[in-house]
Amino acid sequence: MPIFSYLAIPRNGAKEALCADLAKISYCEIIPADNQDVIVLVTDTPDQNTEKNLQQTLKDLHSLQSLSLAFGYDDNENKGN
């Protein structure tokens, strides 16, 4: 059950489109910056498979230029420890 947070940078002028795209995707919550073209993306998926699929969906987004990982947490890995 991984939780990640990222800084999502839209392609030029595509912040609104990226917000709209991300808002449609399950397991995603967004916090757009008011004054910069930056969006905080928090993902919370139930299992690894869903996580993998989500990663692929994100990679395919045309409005997205880059994702920088800020935080990662996985229940399973934590239990393993």
Partner 1 sequence: MTMKLNRRRFMKYAAASSAVATAGSLFPGISFGDWQKINNNSGVVSWQKAPCRFCGTGCGVLVGVSGDRAIAVKGDPNCSVNKGLCCMKGYHSVQALYGKDRLTKALVRKNGSMVEVPIAEALDLVAEKLQETRDKHGKDSVAMYGSGQWTIPDGYVASKLFKGCLGTNNVEANARLCMASAVTGFMTSFGLDEPMGCYEDIDHANVFVTWGNNMAEMHPVLFSRMLANRKRRANVNIVDFATRLTRTSQAADKSIIFKPQTDLAVANAICYEIIKNDWVNWEFVNNHVSFHKGKTNIGYGTEDHFTFKDKAESISLEEFKLFLEDYTPEKVEKISGVSARDIKYLASLYGDPTLKITSFWCMGMNQHTRGTWINNLVYNIHLLVGKISTPGNSPFSLTGQPSACGTVREVGTLTHKLPHGVVMNEKHRQMAAEIWDVPVSNIDPKPSYHTVEMFRALDRGDIKFMWIQVTNPMVTMPNLIRYREGTLKDDRFVVVSDVYPTPTTDVADVILPAAMWIEQEGMFGNSERRTQHFGQILNPPGEAMSDTWQIIEVARRLGFEKQFSWDQTDYIEKIWEEYRRFHAGPKHEMASYKVLNERSGVQWPFVNGKETRWRFNPNYDPACTNGKDFDFYGKKDNRAWIWARPYEPAAESPDSEYNFWLNTGRVIEHWHTGSMTRRVPVLHNAVPSAYVELHPEDAAELGVVNGEKVKIISRRGEITMPAQINGRGVPTRGMVFVPFFDESYLINEVTLDAFCPISKQPDYKKCAVRLEKA
Binding of partner 1 by 1 (CB under 8 A)? yes
Q: How many residues bind partner 1 (CB under 8 A)?
A: 22
Binding of partner 1 by 40 (CB under 8 A)? yes
User: Reading across the β-sheet that carries 28-32, which strands appear in turn?
Assistant: 28-32, 39-44, 2-10, 64-74
C-alpha–C-alpha distance, residues 20 and 14, integer Å: 10
Burial label for 67, CB within 10 Å (0-12, 13-18, 19+), is middle
The footprint of partner 1 on residues 13-32 (CB under 8 A) is 29, 31-32
Q: Which of 5, 28, 45, 54 binds partner 1 (CB under 8 A)?
A: 5
C-alpha–C-alpha distance, residues 32 and 40, integer Å: 6
The footprint of partner 1 on residues 52-71 (CB under 8 A) is 68, 70-71
Site of interaction with partner 1 (CB under 8 A): 1, 3-7, 29, 31-36, 38, 40-42, 44, 68, 70-71, 73
